[in-house]
Each structure stands twice: as structure tokens, then as C-alpha cells.
Amino acid sequence: MDIIDAKLSRRDMVKYGLLTAGGMLVAKSGLSIRASNAKDLVSPKTTPWKDPLPVPSPLEPDTSFDLTKLTKGLNGDSNEAPRADHQSWDDYKPQKFYQIEQKDRTWSFHSDLPNQKIWNFQGDSEDHAEYAEPTIHARYGESIVIRNKNSLPKNNKGYGIPDTSTHLHNAHTASESDGNPSDYYTSGFYKDFHYCNKLAGDDPNEALGFLWFHDHRLDYTA
């Protein structure tokens, strides 16, 4: 709890000798909540193949949103996180708009286990709450904007801090929408990410596949 309350990053913990080379927490009295009963801790048993593989239905775009309200620069909203102008805006005007809200939610990893509290990305509809993350079906040549709203709990007392930076892995994305580890913003703010969905090569079958997004906040990605 001392480590949690101190909000130590992995880098801090290595510096203070609290992590081993393999990334394991060093058992120290008063520092490790596992130190006193580590030998009694085992992973709970679950029944194999009991639950079907969760396949989320695609998140639908927000068709009620006026796309003309989206701008190359900042929208002028006091709750918008700072960013540079969208670099490819003029050549790839957005055709669809999505909203994703990062919140403190409960979710079950397996029907044999109790609900767990998680921080996750979800769409603007609670109909998708049975899945940990939403899926978006995007198409080459169809530029989109995703508004990521950070509604994580402020002054969190557990592991993690309510800052976020969302990275779409494996895509060719301009720097202002790339979600680099140092480009994070805190709870109460949102950021518009512009994805051109431009094909990298000339062959339309060259880069077809699955892209995945994840939190990218420096030192605290979880």
C-alpha cells in the first residue's frame, strides 16, 4: 500500500530496488502486500471451455454528430486536451465519428470468477458492456475521427493514475493522433484522434488485417 499511495512508476521502483531484474516485486515487510502470505496465494481454478469466446459486435458510428463541427485545429472546448493540428485533415476529411469513454467498470473474466473492477475503453452505448473493449470495423480510404473521453476516477487510491494516451498499434497515423507515451491527458478531458486509414502500399491486399489499440501512458500502461 505504501507503493500504491506513493504512485511509484516502474522506473522509480527499479531505482529504489523494489523490483527484480525479471520485473517481480521484491518481498519487503511493509512494502509488499503479498510478502506475508505469498506461499498461500494461488490462481483460482476455472472450468476450461465453459464460456464461449466473446466476440463483440462492431461499435456503431455516432450518426447524430454533425461532422462539420469537427475541426483541423482545437475545437475550442475547455475540456479538450491540447494537441497539434491534424496534419492530414485537408486530404482526408472524416467520414465517420465514434465516441469511446474510458471509465471504471466491472467485468467478469470468466463465469467461475466474481466481477472484477477494471479501467477500460467502451463505446457510448452500455449495450457493449459485456465485452472488455469495443471493436471498430474500419475501411481503407474511409477516414474517421474517434473522440476518446477520459472519465477515469480522479485521485485514484489503487494501482494506476487516471492519465491516458491511446495508441492504435500497427497503423500509419500522424503524430498528433498517434498516442505516443508522453502525449497523455488526465481525467475530465477528451481528445479527437484522426485516422486516415490510408493504405500503406499500392496492393489493396498488402495490409489487410487486424489493428489493436491500447493505453500508452509512459510508465503506467496497464
Give pLDDT tens digits for 98-107: 999 998 888 8
Q: What confidence score (pLDDT) does residue 123 get?
A: 61
Rounded CA-CA distance 26/20 in Å is 6
| Range in 16-30, 74-88, 164-178 the model is least confident about | 16-30
Rounded CA-CA distance 81/104 in Å is 20
Position 11 pLDDT exceeds 90: no
* Grid cell locating 195: 485516422
**Half-sphere exposure (CA, 13 Å, Cβ side) for 65?**
17
Contacts of 147 (CB under 8 A, 6+ apart): 97, 98, 99, 100, 190, 191, 192, 193
Domains of the chain: 1-36 (no CATH), 60-71+80-222 (2.60.40.420)
Paired residues of 148 in beta bridges: 100, 191
Longest dimension (CA), the chain: 60
Rounded CA-CA distance 9/171 in Å is 28
Q: What confidence score (pLDDT) does residue 212 get?
A: 86
Rounded CA-CA distance 27/17 in Å is 11
Rounded CA-CA distance 208/194 in Å is 19
- From 205, 130, 211, select the one nearest 173 (Cα to Cα): 211
What is the pLDDT confidence band of residue 45, given thresholds at 50, 70 and 90? confident
pTM score of the predicted model:
0.77
